[in-house]
Amino acid sequence: MTDTLAPTTVVPPEHDVPSQRRVVTAIPGPKSVALQERRAAVVSDGVSSALPVFIEKAHGAILVDVDGNAFLDLGAGIGVTTIGHTDDAVVAAARGQLGDVIHTLFTITPYEEYVRVAELLAQHTPGTHAKKTVLVNSGAEAVENAVKIARKYTRRAGVAVLEHAYHGRTNLTMAMNFKAMPYSVGFGPFAGDVYRAPNSYPLHDGLSGADAAARTIAYLEKTVGASDLACLVVEPIQGEGGFVVPADGYLPALQEWCTANGIVFVADEIQSGMARTGAYFASEHFGLVPDLVLSAKGIAGGLPLAGVTGRAEIMDAAQPGGLGGTFGGNPVACAAAIAVFERIEQDDLLAEGARIEKALKPALEGLQAKYPVIAEVRGIGAMIAIELADPETHAPRADAVSAIAAAAAQQGVLLLTAGTYGNVLRFLPSLAVTDAQIADAISVLDDCFAAL
């Protein structure tokens, strides 16, 4: 170890948060209702909340609201508190850093924590080639920077994305998303040179990985031409799209085609990365070594941090001063990220993904056997989803998805929805969720499906 950062010493504090769900008022309770009124007066209606209970405290996989209700959180703030809410090591590292230095701006006067995060990303992203990183504030900003860098490196403009993809809310990333409502309707004009190709969606297309890849490639070659593409941006497991796991061989075939045609292969691992699926990055499950890997969400235990990590020669194509931003790679967020990496290593958190999958997937398959509205159970590690469809017509059942999520919330179980048609319930718990908490959530879901 060549770094000079002091190791984090953690004295576990007492947490005033229960380890089980507990519903003590109507949901939302009276204090949340009052806060919701204040909010409605001053917060833009463009910002909505899936469940308007106002959270006061959180630890592990539990959220406690202002009325004293405790929720079993199976969403982790959309895959952000991957190692658990208020993880003791993350809290200690961030607190320590707050007293040392909160901000300098790395592009003015640098600090070691940024370099350490870049070293850790170089070490833990797929592949043993020389890698470099730029740190930014959000997932969308990481996507934007990956596109900038790929364009500079290739001197080409075209950006290829896949159907059902989600990449963010900035102007460029709005153009990269599949779903217009609610993400981009009315917010144009949008960025050009973005091309959307069919993906691999085994439940719906029934194609082998090779056939789906041939379709994607043929589409891009016909409608754009490989020589005009700077990059192909893919989520190895699509997140907002509903945890769509591509057919075997699909992603490696795309990567091979990119390499053969000088197209930068970018893995958007913003939702699927950072130990979420039992590997540091989901790319590993598919044998991918992406040219650029995007991380965000879980990387800093809940603090805002994101990064683009990739082949040194590609990352260095950006001119000095070409990358940056005031808050990118903030010292407190970096200190938290270092603690996240340490926790994953020291406590073997990569094993937790497999444990959660083992507890969750068969239980959901049990529900599928009872309730034919569950068309598919899919996903890897702590990234599992069920897609709901009419068993006869196969029409997406968004109504059932919202009814189940609402009914579960009344019982103190917080579930996220997803899918292009709002037809997917996703389980994106923190790795701190216990087998007992999973079993409890399944029994709540069983009741919700029975009542549907």
Residue (of 224, 241, 68, 80) closest to 159 by Cα position: 224
Binding range to ligand PLZ, per CB under 6 A, among 9-17, 42-50, 135-143, 349-357: 135-143
The answer to whether the CB of 332 falls within 8 A of the CB of 94 is: yes
Q: How far is the CB of 392 from ligand PLZ (least distance, A)?
A: 32
Residue among 29, 139, 242, 422 that touches ligand PLZ (CB under 6 A) = 139
DSSP state of 22: B
Alpha helices in 224-372 (DSSP H): 250-260, 312-315, 331-346, 350-370
How many residues does this entry show for the chain? 452
Q: How far is the CB of 305 from ligand PLZ (least distance, A)?
A: 10
Peptide bond into 126 cis (omega under 30): no
Q: How far is the CB of 179 from ligand PLZ (least distance, A)?
A: 11
Residue (of 304, 240, 241, 231) closest to 267 by Cα position: 231
Residue among 268, 291, 357, 387 that touches ligand PLZ (CB under 6 A) = 268
DSSP secondary structure letters along 401-441: HHHHHHHHHHTTEE-EEESTTS-EEEE---TT--HHHHHHH
Residue among 69, 81, 138, 199 that touches ligand PLZ (CB under 6 A) = 138
Binding range to ligand PLZ, per CB under 6 A, among 93-101, 235-243, 250-258, 422-430: 235-243
The answer to whether the CB of 195 falls within 8 A of the CB of 265 is: no
Q: How far is the CB of 71 from ligand PLZ (least distance, A)?
A: 18
Residue among 174, 266, 270, 373 that touches ligand PLZ (CB under 6 A) = 270
For the record, the structure tokens of 357 come out as 């999958």
Residue among 71, 153, 166, 178 that touches ligand PLZ (CB under 6 A) = 166
Q: For Cα atoms 181, 184, 186, give the angle at the middle one, nearest 5 degrees.
A: 100
Residue among 169, 215, 285, 355 that touches ligand PLZ (CB under 6 A) = 169
Q: Does 168 bind ligand PLZ (CB under 6 A)?
A: yes
Residue among 131, 167, 179, 343 that touches ligand PLZ (CB under 6 A) = 167
Site for ligand PLZ in 271-310 (CB under 6 A): 271, 296
Binding range to ligand PLZ, per CB under 6 A, among 36-44, 60-68, 266-274, 382-390: 266-274
Q: Which amino acid is at 17?
A: V
Binding mask 314-353 for ligand PLZ (x = CB under 6 A): ----------------------------------------
Distance of alpha carbon 265 from alpha carbon 268, whole angstroms: 10
Per-position b or e across 132-162, b if 16+ CB within 10 A of its CB: bbbbbbbbbbbbbbbbbbbbbbbebebbbbb
Q: Does 163 bind ligand PLZ (CB under 6 A)?
A: no
Binding mask 42-81 for ligand PLZ (x = CB under 6 A): ------------------------------------x---
Binding range to ligand PLZ, per CB under 6 A, among 110-118, 166-174, 366-374, 421-429: 166-174
Binding mask 76-115 for ligand PLZ (x = CB under 6 A): --x-------------------------------------
Distance of alpha carbon 269 from alpha carbon 383, whole angstroms: 12
Q: How far is the CB of 120 from ligand PLZ (least distance, A)?
A: 19
Q: Which amino acid is at 275?
A: A
Number of H helices, E strands in the chain: 14, 15
Binding mask 190-229 for ligand PLZ (x = CB under 6 A): ----------------------------------------
Q: Which amino acid is at 283?
A: S
Three-class SS of residue 326? coil
> Is the dihedral angle over the CA atoms 332, 333, 338, 339 positive or is it negative?
positive
For the record, the structure tokens of 371 come out as 């309730």
Binding range to ligand PLZ, per CB under 6 A, among 132-140, 149-157, 367-375, 437-445: 132-140
Size of the site for ligand PLZ (CB under 6 A): 16
Residue nearest to ligand PLZ (CB): 139
Q: Does 144 bind ligand PLZ (CB under 6 A)?
A: no
Nearer to ligand PLZ, 94 or 237 (CB): 237
Distant-in-sequence, close-in-space partners of 392: CB < 8 Å, separation ≥ 6: none
> Which residues sit at the interface with ligand PLZ, rule CB under 6 A?
78, 138-140, 143, 166-169, 235, 239-240, 268, 270-271, 296
